[in-house]
Amino acid sequence: MPITEMLSRNARMYPEETALIERDPALGRRREITWLEFENMANKIAGALLERGIGQGDKVAILLMNCLEWLPIYFGILKTGALAVPLNFRYTSEEIKRCLAIVEARALFYESQFTERIAAIKDDLNCVDYYIYVGEDCPQGAESFSEILAQLPPDDPGIALADTDDAALYFTSGTTGAPKPILLTHANLVSACITENRHHLQQHEDNFLCIPPLYHTGAKMHWFGSLIVGSKAVILRGVKPHWILEAVSEERVTIVWLLVPWAQDILDAIESGEVNLKDYHLDQWRLMHIGAQPVPPSLIIRWKKYFPNHMYDTNYGLSESTGPGCVHLGIENI
């Protein structure tokens, strides 16, 4: 089945349960949506794109920081039969222009951090017909995301999708060269759901803390292990140790994916007295996993000293192999 069916199933089975939470501690902001709200937002986005003549085989780019709207936009694109094209938020104007031109993107979702970068190249982007702005104070020449959604019903677009249909283009540089797109089908994405869930054994009661960028296959496809069982996830904007521990404690998070610097920072904060683990509710936290870079064994030995009851996992992936799990030796293979 196409991956969009998993979202629709969760909306039917768990309509009032929380699907996604966004925490932005720097702004003191917390937002959440249920599975039904997630599905309805994706349906509205799909309807907006279809109204603009965007559908099967077209490409729609996403240039956003991690936020509550990111995944509904992604699934809304997929529901039309179009291909989602996530872009690295670190790209320069010229890199954005190159990527959009390569895939011939017909629409772009973006936010305030990228207004200047888009303005610098907009006159040269002949392929992009629609600019959709996520946030307040929509700039001239773009359409307001919130206004578009307010005008549309949450009806499923009813587009028939097959497992073999193209779903997304992910830009990757590999070890050298300029970014180049790789193609993933709906079957690829569903395979990532199954692989991630078998590796980390997510259950419906779990809660996944996502910190790395959603434009990358790693973060999104680690979340896919939650999607397949309808469990909630927390999107955290910020990597300070006390922000991470607060999110785990207050949201009752059970699974956390960290990168090496963040794990190191948490340990250093504990040992310096910057944070006190007794101030947080962490008993439910069952798994910490790391990937994306070499992991020093000494780091995990230190981690186990402070979190002896945690399961631990190292796993690696490739965009070309549909994200995480390309290399996986099993939980506790330290």
User: What tens digit of pLDDT does each residue of 234-293 get?
Assistant: 999 999 999 999 999 999 999 999 999 999 999 999 999 999 999 999 999 999 998 777
The residue out of 135, 150, 185 marking a domain boundary is 185
Pick the last residue of a domain from 185, 207, 234.
185
* Bridge partners of residue 250, in order along the sequence: none
CATH of the domain at 105: 3.40.50.980
Which residues, in sequence order, are CB contacts of 204 under 8 Å at separation 6+? 14, 229, 230, 231
Same domain, 214 and 265: yes
Q: Are residues 165 and 195 in the same domain?
A: no
Domain assignment of residue 25, yes or no? no
Give the pair of three-digit tokens for residue 289: 């996993």
CA angle 241, 278, 308 (to 5 degrees): 80
Residues 205 and 265 in one domain: yes
Both 166 and 290 in one domain: the answer is no
The overall longest dimension of the chain from CA atoms, in Å, is: 57
Is the residue at 12 inside a domain?
no
Q: Is the pLDDT score of 327 beyond 80? A: no
Residue at token pair 């290399």: 327
Q: Which of 127, 156, 185 is the last residue before a domain boundary?
A: 185
Determine phi and psi for 253, rounding to 5 degrees: -70, 140
Residue type, 216: H
Q: Is 140 exposed, middle or buried (0-12, 13-18, 19+ CB in 10 A)?
A: exposed
- DSSP H helical ranges for 66-185: 70-79, 93-103, 115-121, 145-150
Q: pLDDT, tens digit, for every residue of 96-105?
A: 999 999 999 9
Rounded CA separation 223/197 (Å): 9
Report the alpha-carbon distance of residue 95 to residue 86 in Å, rounded.
Answer: 13
- Residue 326 pLDDT exceeds 70: no
First to last CA, the chain: 35
Going by pLDDT thresholds of 50, 70 and 90, the confidence category of residue 332 is low
C-alpha distances (whole Å) from 91 to each of 171, 179, 258 are: 11, 10, 23
Same domain, 66 and 176: yes
Helices 186-200 and 217-227: crossing angle in degrees, nearest 10, is 70
The reply to whether 211 falls in a domain is yes
Please, which pLDDT band fits residue 92 given cuts at 50, 70 and 90?
A: very high
* Per-residue confidence (pLDDT) for residue 174, from 0 to 100: 63
pTM of the model: 0.96
C-alpha span between 175 and 86 (Å, rounded): 19
For residues 116 and 179, membership in a common domain is answered with yes
- 302 and 315 housed in the same domain: yes
- Domain count within the chain: 2
Q: What is the pLDDT of residue 325?
A: 65
Share of the chain above pLDDT 70, in %: 96
Does residue 180 sit in helix, strand or coil?
strand
In a domain, 75, yes or no: yes
Structure tokens at 232: 């909630």
Instruction: Give domain status of residue 314, yes or no.
Output: yes
How far apart (Å, rounded) are the C-alpha atoms in residues 208 and 202? 9
**Enclosing domain of residue 50:** 35-185
> Is position 333 within any domain?
no
Show the tokens assigned to 24. 């932005």
Region of 28 on the Ramachandran plot (φ > 0 left; ψ -120 to 50 alpha; else beta): left
For 148-193, how does the pLDDT look when each residue is reduced to its tens digit (9 = 90+)?
A: 999 999 999 999 999 999 999 999 876 677 888 999 999 999 999 9
For residue 226, pLDDT beyond 80: yes
The DSSP line for 247-260 is HHHHHT--EEEE-H
10 located within any domain: no
* 192 and 181 both lie in a single domain: no
Is residue 244 within 8 Å of residue 256, measured between CB atoms? yes
User: Within a domain: residue 13?
Assistant: no
Q: What pLDDT, on the 0 to 100 scale, is given for residue 175?
A: 63
Q: Output phi, psi for 110, to 5 deg.
A: -150, 175
Do 173 and 201 belong to one domain? no
Same-domain check for residues 206 and 178: no
Say whether pLDDT at 307 is over 70. yes
Amino acid at 288: M
Q: Residue 224, SS3?
A: helix
